């Protein structure tokens, strides 16, 4: 029953998303593009951090690699920068592949470290990649960056030209409208793949590695390999997201992919609820759209001052709001927004067990031999209808047992 409702809800959302370009103006379309690009990056990161349990602060580095690979491979050689002149589709695929390749190259580190140790090592990646972006000026254009060729598929360009005029239902479809559908397709495919991956053998192996490496190894999971694989997949997602950001901006520059961007990706998945694909999308919507919307409508909000006047300007306000949002979600909501939503559904639907099954993982094979996962089994109900949510939240340890 609840499964049917979820599907109907998904279809309804998709129909709305398909129809939105007919009514939205350019600002909202642009915002939507950024949100969808960020959502793909966030979904990739939630697979790594939420499902596989590896903290990464280097997501922006992989997004940067994707963005620049796309920009370089599809760009033409000019007086200032070189370019590959490849077809955009190939460029997009290369962006994901090269980012995944770099992720694989980093896997000797990723396979050996865990948790916050890995987070710190990946912190280094952001700075190293930024340094390369600034210095390999022939390829990247240095500090000012380089412009990005618009996407095209078989003579149909996702820009304002080629065809010059295209209208659907009386609304002229310009570059933003066309990109909207491309991004929507990519986002839906990415979420669908991520959901399936998480529920698959591989995803459950990752969750097992997250919960206890010793137990996972005892069950025959190659721990280093599983961790490296999670890193590679997440990097590919980041690369795709980077290429999409490049398309949405029409330009790439090193400052887009700073440490702040990495932190933003983390914030998205934490707000949404670690390990939840839908949560990652909601988190991306919140984090990406909030500063843009506050800036756009700052004149209508009385408590905001104009930028530079010393008062509370929109970008400061949005940063404080989302800093507070992170704190509030982590302190008040177990499992982020996704966890809260799941509990709400249980309460409303009444079909589920009253226990807080959302934070346990019904699909994970029983208690590990170390006994570390044992307390979780007490709150797990095998009849949980929520079986589509393996690996929902970071740890199976329940609040009651740790206090």
User: Binding residues for another protein, per CB under 8 A?
Assistant: 49, 53, 55, 108-109, 112-113, 115-117, 119-121, 123-125, 127-128, 130-132, 134-136, 213-214, 216-217, 223, 259, 263, 266-267, 270, 274, 310, 312, 316, 319-320, 322-327, 330-335, 359, 393-395, 397, 399, 402
CA distance 171 to 167: 5
Q: Tell me the closest approach of the beta carbon of residue 308 to another protein, in angstroms.
A: 9
CA distance 283 to 338: 10
Q: Tell me the closest approach of the beta carbon of residue 211 to another protein, in angstroms.
A: 11
Residue 394 Cα distances to 38, 125, 224, 253, angstroms: 22, 24, 19, 34
Q: Tell me the closest approach of the beta carbon of residue 196 to another protein, in angstroms.
A: 24
Nearer to another protein, 6 or 399 (CB): 399
Nearer to another protein, 26 or 138 (CB): 138
Q: Tell me the closest approach of the beta carbon of residue 95 to another protein, in angstroms.
A: 23
Nearer to another protein, 148 or 221 (CB): 221
**What 3-state DSSP class applies to 163?**
coil
Nearer to another protein, 89 or 116 (CB): 116
Nearer to another protein, 95 or 267 (CB): 267
The vertex-177 CA angle with 140 and 243, nearest 5°, equals 25
How far separated are the first and last CA of the chain, in Å rounded? 36
Q: Which residues contact 309 (CB under 8 A, 6 or more apart)?
A: none
CA distance 221 to 53: 15
Nearer to another protein, 85 or 108 (CB): 108
Q: Tell me the closest approach of the beta carbon of residue 53 to another protein, in angstroms.
A: 7
- Is the distance from CB of 192 to CB of 25 less than 8 angstroms? no
Q: Which residues contact 208 (CB under 8 A, 6 or more apart)?
A: 215, 216, 219, 221, 364, 365
Q: Tell me the closest approach of the beta carbon of residue 115 to another protein, in angstroms.
A: 6
């Amino acid at each position: 029953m609840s499964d049917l409702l979820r599907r109907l809800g998904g279809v309804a959302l998709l129909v709305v998303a398909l129809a939105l370009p007919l009514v939205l103006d350019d600002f909202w379309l642009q915002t939507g593009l950024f949100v969808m690009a960020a959502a793909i990056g966030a979904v990739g990161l939630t697979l790594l951090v939420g499902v596989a349990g590896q903290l990464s602060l280097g997501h922006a580095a992989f997004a940067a690699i994707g963005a620049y690979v796309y920009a370089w491979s599809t760009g033409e050689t000019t007086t200032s920068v070189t370019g590959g002149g490849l077809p955009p589709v190939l460029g997009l695929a290369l962006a994901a592949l090269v980012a995944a390749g770099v992720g694989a190259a980093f896997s000797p580190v990723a396979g050996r470290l865990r948790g916050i140790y890995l987070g710190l090592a990946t912190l280094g990646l952001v700075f190293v990649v930024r340094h390369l972006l600034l210095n390999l000026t022939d390829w990247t254009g240095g500090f000012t960056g380089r412009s990005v060729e618009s996407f095209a598929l078989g003579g149909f360009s996702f820009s304002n030209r080629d065809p010059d005029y295209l209208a659907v239902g009386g609304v002229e479809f310009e570059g933003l409208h066309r990109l909207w559908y491309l991004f929507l397709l990519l986002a839906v495919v990415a979420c669908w793949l991520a959901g399936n991956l998480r529920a698959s053998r591989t995803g459950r192996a990752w969750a097992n590695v997250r919960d206890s490496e010793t137990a996972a190894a005892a069950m025959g999971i190659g721990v280093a390999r599983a961790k490296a694989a999670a890193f590679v997949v997440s990097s590919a997602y980041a690369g795709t997201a980077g290429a999409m950001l490049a398309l949405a901006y029409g330009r790439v520059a090193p400052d887009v992919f700073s440490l702040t961007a990495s932190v933003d990706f983390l914030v998205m998945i934490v707000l949404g609820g670690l390990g939840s694909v839908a949560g990652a999308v909601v988190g991306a919507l919140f984090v990406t759209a909030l500063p843009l919307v506050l800036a756009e409508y700052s004149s209508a909000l009385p408590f905001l001052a104009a930028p530079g006047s010393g008062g509370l300007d929109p970008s400061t306000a949005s940063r404080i709001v989302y800093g507070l949002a992170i704190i509030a979600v982590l302190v008040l909501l177990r499992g982020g927004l996704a966890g809260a939503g799941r509990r709400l559904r249980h309460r409303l639907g009444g079909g589920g067990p009253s226990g807080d099954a959302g934070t346990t993982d019904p699909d994970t094979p029983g208690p590990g031999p170390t006994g570390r996962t044992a307390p979780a089994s007490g709150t797990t109900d095998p009849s949980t209808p929520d079986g589509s949510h393996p690996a929902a939240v970071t740890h199976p340890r329940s609040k009651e047992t740790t206090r």
